[in-house]
């Protein structure tokens, strides 16, 4: 390893941890402080150290970015799950409403069928009564015609009786 100059040393606080944003900021501040010194020095070992330090900084930033992306993905997943749960509740409500409507429809259909059956029975009864009435009217007409015939015969007999009575006298 190449030796570092005594006037230039990286001092990174021991308290820096990878998951802490404020500490990443302090690492960035340290890089900014020493960046000018590294840029002015042409030593290959210092440039290598600068590249290593920059890599370390990007590694520190990468977990934060990944953590942020994971948090965003988790939030999206939670929102998607909440939306799914809400949709399932709405589906259950709709299914319950459809079941209620099906029950009401079934009862109405049953009532309509009963009314239709009653109407058909009433129509059949009406037809039967109509036939009985037609037969009764037919008998009444026959009786009326018979009555007319009997009355005519009676008139004839009375008319013949008067003539015969007149002729006898």
Return all residues near 63 (Cβ < 8 A) that are at least 6 apart: 18, 19
Encode pLDDT of 78-113 as tens digits: 999 999 999 999 999 999 999 999 999 999 999 999
CA distance 129 to 124: 9
Check residue 162 and give its pLDDT. Answer: 59
pTM above 0.85, yes or no: no
Q: Are 16 and 23 in contact (CB under 8 A)?
A: yes
Encode pLDDT of 59-77 as tens digits: 666 777 778 888 988 999 9
- Whether 118 shows a pLDDT value over 70: the answer reads yes
CA distance 18 to 2: 27
Kindly report the average pLDDT of the chain as a whole number: 78
Lowest mean pLDDT among 42-46, 59-63, 96-100, 116-120: 42-46
- Whether 135 shows a pLDDT value over 80: the answer reads yes
- Whether 141 shows a pLDDT value over 60: the answer reads yes
Residue 34: pLDDT band by 50, 70, 90 thresholds? low
Start-to-end CA distance of the chain, whole Å, equals 181
Check residue 26 and give its pLDDT. Answer: 57
């Amino acid at each position: 390893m190449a030796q570092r100059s005594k006037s230039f040393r990286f001092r990174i606080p021991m308290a820096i941890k990878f998951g802490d944003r404020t500490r990443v900021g302090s690492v960035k501040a340290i890089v900014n402080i020493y960046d000018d010194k590294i840029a002015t020095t042409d030593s290959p070992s210092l440039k290598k150290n600068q590249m290593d330090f920059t890599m370390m900084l990007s590694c520190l930033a990468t977990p934060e970015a990944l953590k942020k992306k994971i948090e965003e993905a988790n939030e999206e997943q939670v929102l998607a799950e909440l939306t799914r749960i809400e949709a399932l509740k709405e589906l259950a409500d709709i299914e319950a409403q459809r079941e209620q409507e099906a029950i009401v429809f079934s009862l109405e259909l049953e009532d309509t069928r009963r009314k239709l059956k009653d109407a058909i029975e009433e129509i059949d009864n009406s037809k039967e009564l109509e036939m009985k009435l037609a037969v009764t009217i037919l008998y009444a007409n026959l009786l009326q015609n018979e009555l007319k015939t009997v009355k005519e015969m009676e008139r004839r007999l009375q008319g013949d009786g008067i003539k015969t009575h007149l002729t006898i006298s």
